Amino acid sequence: MPSHFERGSLLFSFLLLLLLLLVSSRLPPSQALPLNQKGLKSAVFLSPKFVQGPGSVGDKFYYDVDFPRGHIFLKDFIAEVVDEEGNSVPLHETYLHHWLMVRYFERKDVDSSGNDNNQGRRPSDFIMVPNSGVCGHILGQYFGLGSETRRTTTYIPDPYGIEIGNPEEIPHGYEEKWLLNVHAIDTRGVEDRLGCTECRCDLYNVTKDKSGKPLRPGYLGGLYCCYDETRCRVKKHFNGLRRSLYLRYTVKWVDWEKTIVPVKIYILDVTDTRGRADYSTSISARVGCQVEYDVEECVVVSPNNGCTDSKRISVFMANGGDVIYGAAHQHSGGTGAALYGQDGRLVCSSIPIYGEGKEAGNEAGYIVGMSSCYPRPGTVKISNGETLYLESNYSSTRGHTGVMGLFYLLVAEQSPKQTHLAHGLIHMHDQFELFKVPRTMAYAGAALIIVAAAAAVYLLRKGRENEHHYVAV
């Protein structure tokens, strides 16, 4: 004879099984198992080919490059320079100064594919879509790194993503496209490899910028001296073949989903010297964000920090939120960068990883990676209207030209809890719609579970009461 406990368990199991059969019978075959897959998709692309010989510089702009389309959330972007066989090219052969991926809208009747530097276009044909700040179009890229590309973690954690392809954001008659800028320097056989990567003007024999204007007095090196088609000085009698190279990039994304929390991209620049009142104008962005600066060789060793060049500025953040990710961008000689809140708290710090060998991804003397910040969601916040402090440090045991102190920051203005609460009931309704379960049937199923649970509890209690009167023989 079954006990009260066994009868309660059987009743509960039977009714629960009945409810599951009721629901699963209404599911189409492809949806019979609601999956926990996150739907992460991935695609690998190649940039257009660029050809380089010893000492040569390529700084190309490729419009309408291959990129995932549709209303999606970007989750990661990985890149490196490869040869025609797909082999990774080390930095001591081809120095990847930087690559940038920029979003823009273009009229549908305009063909922008290829490398034409945007020449011949009407302003109305082309609308740049920069990130959320704070340097405007000066540093408007969505993704971008340099020599540190291979070993810098850039994955955006769940439940966050960078939203693109929203039809409501794209003007009528336009479509979303992507611009890729690749700045690479072939340092095979050059006289001074570090000098070439730091774009020292004397090594390039350059006195005018790419537009033909004379360099400003005292400008020793940087982007204005290593532009497209310039050449760094090569050792006499060195012979090296020209070769074809590509930027191979991997994009990861998920389809748009209402529970994913969008993040905003901020790129901060330690050369940005604007005051708080200047952040409302794009003209000030052109004046404030210089992108690069020089580090002078130290003459007197400081008792506090030795030979360290420390540059610090304040940045006004009109909008805040939860910090989701952060990483700095520095050049050789960099020792790290940090971002502080208005009250002095550490928001994020990023330290360079220097290579120790010859193989790609571990090249000695080069920054091959930057450490990344992944705060636990909700633990590191930036307030609306808060002033942040960015600090960039370089070793000054020797001088450096054209260095950078950028900080890439992802901020979520809303928390996952807010998103889930806002869409929770809608999501439940969508699930019933997906499974094609009539609402009355769903309510009946829920009632069955409640009745089964109550009956099971009653029988279990009854069983326990009887157990108190049991006497072992």
Residue ranges per structural domain of the chain: 4-26+437-467, 41-421
With vertex at residue 391, the alpha carbon angle to CA 385 and CA 397, rounded to the nearest 5 degrees, is 170
Lowest mean pLDDT among 323-332, 442-451, 462-471: 462-471
Which of 223, 224, 232, 195 minimizes the C-alpha distance to 207?
Answer: 224
pLDDT score recorded for residue 273: 79
Instruction: Say yes or no to pLDDT of 37 above 60.
Output: no
In the chain, what percentage of residues exceed pLDDT 70?
74
Arithmetic mean of pLDDT, 15-28: 41
Instruction: Give the C-alpha separation, 88 to 367, whole Å.
Output: 16
Instruction: Say yes or no to pLDDT of 468 above 90.
Output: no
Q: What is the average pLDDT value for the chain, to the nearest integer?
A: 82
pLDDT score recorded for residue 24: 39
Express each pLDDT in 76-94 by its tens digit. Answer: 999 999 999 999 999 999 9
Lowest mean pLDDT among 167-176, 336-345, 358-367, 437-446: 437-446
Lowest mean pLDDT among 86-100, 102-116, 268-282, 448-462: 448-462
Instruction: Say yes or no to pLDDT of 438 above 80.
Output: no
pLDDT score recorded for residue 417: 65
Q: 81 near 58, Cβ under 8 Å?
A: no
Arithmetic mean of pLDDT, 317-324: 95
User: Which tokens is 199 given?
Assistant: 């774009």
Instruction: Say yes or no to pLDDT of 23 above 50.
Output: no
pTM: 0.77
Please report which confidence band the pLDDT of residue 159 belongs to, taking 50, 70 and 90 as the band edges.
very high
To which H or E segment does residue 326 belong? strand 321-329
Q: 215 near 206, Cβ under 8 Å?
A: yes
Q: Please provide the DSSP assignment of 375-390 as one string.
A: PPTTSSEE-TTEEEEE
In the chain, what percentage of residues exceed pLDDT 90?
68
- Report, in this order, helix, strand and coil percent for the chain, each rounded to 5: 20, 35, 40
Q: Name which residue leads in pLDDT, 32 or 146.
A: 146
Crossing angle of helices 4-24/439-467, nearest 10°?
Answer: 170
pLDDT score recorded for residue 193: 97
Lowest mean pLDDT among 36-45, 176-185, 353-362, 371-380: 36-45
Instruction: Say yes or no to pLDDT of 459 above 80.
Output: no
Lowest mean pLDDT among 69-73, 137-141, 249-253, 337-341: 137-141
Q: Name which residue leads in pLDDT, 75 or 436.
A: 75
Express each pLDDT in 99-152 by its tens digit. Answer: 999 999 999 988 766 665 555 567 778 899 999 988 888 999 999 999 999 999
Please report which confidence band the pLDDT of residue 74 belongs to, taking 50, 70 and 90 as the band edges.
very high
